[in-house]
Amino acid sequence: MAKGNKPIYNVRAKTGQKDGEGRDIFTTVGAAWPFNSGDGLDVRINLLPVNFDGTLMLVPPKDD
């Protein structure tokens, strides 16, 4: 991954908890960048929730 480049996806993990409306709660645990050459993504995971069930999502980062 190229230093200084913004990731094209955030990596979010299912926490095993539900919100007040019964929806799964996800937390951001890493990011993903396109390969410098060729197809594919470099994925960096920084942490995983305690009750992690193996479910990850790649979602575009929100603009600040």
Q: pLDDT value at position 1?
A: 53
20: left (phi > 0), else alpha (psi -120 to 50), else beta?
A: alpha
CB atoms within 10 A of CB 36: 9
Pair of tokens at residue 34: 């396109």
* In the chain, where the domains are located: 9-59
Pair of tokens at residue 27: 């937390």
Please give the single-letter amino acid code of residue 54. G
pLDDT at 26 over 70: yes
Average pLDDT over residues 8-31: 93
Mean pLDDT over each residue of the chain, to the nearest integer = 88
Tell me how far apart the alpha carbons of residues 54 and 20 are, in angstroms, rounded to a whole number. Answer: 22
Rg for the chain, CA atoms, rounded? 13
Span of 1-5, 26-30, 39-43 with lowest mean pLDDT: 1-5
pLDDT at 3 over 60: no
Q: Global pTM?
A: 0.79
